Amino acid sequence: MATRTIGSGSTAVTQDMLRRALEGRKVNVINPLVALTLLISLLASLAILVVLLWDVVAKSMPVWQERGWSVITNDLSPRPEETGMVQGIFGSVMLTVVVVILSFPLGVAAAIYLEEYARDTRLTRILVANIRNLAGVPSIVYGLLGLTVFVKLILEGMVGQLSGRTLIAGGMTLSMLVLAIMVITTQEALRAVPMALREASYGVGATPWQTIRHHVLPVASPAIFTGSVLTLARAFGESAPLLLAGAVLSTFFAAPEGTPITSLVMSEKYTALPIIIYNWSRQPQTEYIALTAAAIVALLVILLVVNAGTILARDALERRRIR
């Protein structure tokens, strides 16, 4: 007999039947359709990004060709042919420094408390849920918070500054904006550290802080680091809160010729790159179309460089750590 019987009883099948079942290609419409839809979604989002990049780069080309680096290095000026964005870049960098100083230690500390110390009670769960809600609050709301609390109440009311719309107030506002996200990303990083590592440390008689300091944080730090930089990138590109809580230096409020760039930190006259983009885009003169595009390119390049640097630094960190 050529056919062999496989199995026994009522479920017995011949080898031919088995072969047909194994080789039989049933017409499957769903699977390729799903794959195709997913691919189209991916390509669509990529295409939008490419068009956007192409648009700003192309529009900004005349400025780069005519003005060269002076678009970057010049101060703001009411005359479009002379204006530049160095004050904005400086302001954005200084804002980011303030945000790092305020939100990084606060956010990481809060996350360590929630993940490593706080007992899993109803109160903790309510807290965590609300931190997640805070991360979703629109940035303009934080601008209002910055205006009422930092500008009016603290700097003008308590410190007694004539105008509280300083870079410090702007930085504090942005810090509040990213704090919740900072807490969440750090929490995720800490949660990814295996419990077995903590048990090993407690098992040899380490205190909670020794465990966190020597074992949990070193393992979690690359993820905390990456998350923080991506969070800071968000603060770097924010404009709405700054419109409310400061950044009054614009095309019309140019700092007097020769103002040292550092004095922009403490005085009320500072600006940030996103604010420059916002202001230039509202100007009627046609020169500003190319200038706006150039400022967007500058913002994107800075963000891309920082993000790429972060990834490289994280990889270096992970390689140094013994796995």
Partner 1 sequence: MSTRMELASTVVEDAVSPGPSAGLAGSAGSSAIFEIQDLNVYYRDFHAVTDTSLNIYQNEITALIGPSGCGKSTVLRCLNRMNDLIDGARVEGRVTYHGIDLYGSSVDPVEVRRRVGMVFQKPNPFPKSIYENIVFGPRVAGWKGNFDDLVEETLVRAALWDEVKDKLENSAFDLSGGQQQRLCIARAIATSPDVVLMDEPCSALDPIATYRIETLMRELKKQYTIVVVTHNMQQAARVSDRTAFFSVDVGEEGQRTGRLVEYDMTDRVFTAPSMKETEDYITGRFG
The span from the CA of 268 to the CA of 250, in Å, is 12
Tokens 């295996």 belong to 194
Name the one range near partner 1 by CB under 8 A: 40-48, 149-157, 208-216, 241-249.
208-216
Tell me the closest approach of the beta carbon of residue 184 to partner 1, in angstroms: 20
Q: Is 119 in the site for partner 1 (CB under 8 A)?
A: yes
The span from the CA of 16 to the CA of 187, in Å, is 57
Between residues 106 and 206, which has the closer beta carbon with respect to partner 1? Answer: 206
Q: Is 322 in the site for partner 1 (CB under 8 A)?
A: yes
Q: Is 204 in the site for partner 1 (CB under 8 A)?
A: yes
Alpha-helical segments (H) within 68-166: 70-73, 86-112, 122-135, 139-145
Contact indicator for 115, 183 with CB cutoff of 8 Å: no
Between residues 26 and 323, which has the closer beta carbon with respect to partner 1? Answer: 323
> Which of 16, 55, 199, 315 touches partner 1 by CB under 8 A?
199
Between residues 127 and 206, which has the closer beta carbon with respect to partner 1? Answer: 206
> Which of 28, 32, 196, 258 touches partner 1 by CB under 8 A?
196
Q: Is 319 in the site for partner 1 (CB under 8 A)?
A: no
Contact indicator for 293, 59 with CB cutoff of 8 Å: yes
> Which of 206, 261, 265, 300 touches partner 1 by CB under 8 A?
206
Cβ neighbours of residue 7 under 8 Å, at least 6 residues apart? 13
Number of Cα atoms under 13 Å in the Cβ half of residue 170: 35
From residue 303, how far is each of 214, 234, 315 by CA, in Å?
32, 9, 18
Between residues 26 and 320, which has the closer beta carbon with respect to partner 1? Answer: 320
Tell me the closest approach of the beta carbon of residue 195 to partner 1, in angstroms: 8
List of residues contacting partner 1 (CB under 8 A):
119-120, 194, 196-207, 210, 214-215, 218-219, 321-323
